[in-house]
Amino acid sequence: MKKLNLITLVIFLIASTFTVFAQEKSKVASTNYNALELRNVSTGFASGRIADIAIHPENENVWYVAVGSGGVWKTENASITWKPILTTNLLIQ
């Protein structure tokens, strides 16, 4: 019984030593958000509002989206890629 208690004590001491060393090494690095600058993230156009969305009744991967600037966009893969169908912007063709 004494041998079992001694083995348990040795295992406990070894395990607690590793825990202390692990805690000392895992210091969380502080993040300095002051270095980041604010920037606008958008489509690059003056209007990015969605006016209406229509999903094809038989194929829900096909969507039609009308935007506030007057264009209509279509996706055939559930919004992974888009192509313009109708646009009032002369930059998109």
Please give the pLDDT value at position 54: 93
CA distance 41 to 38: 9
Q: Quick check: pTM over 0.75?
A: no
The model's pLDDT over 38-50, given as tens digits with 9 standing for 90+, comes to 776 655 555 568 8
> Could you state, in chain order, the average pLDDT of each consecutive group of 10 residues for the chain (93 residues)?
74 65 54 73 64 92 87 90 77 50
Please give the pLDDT value at position 53: 92
CA distance 44 to 67: 14
- Give the number of other CB atoms < 10 A from CB of residue 67: 20
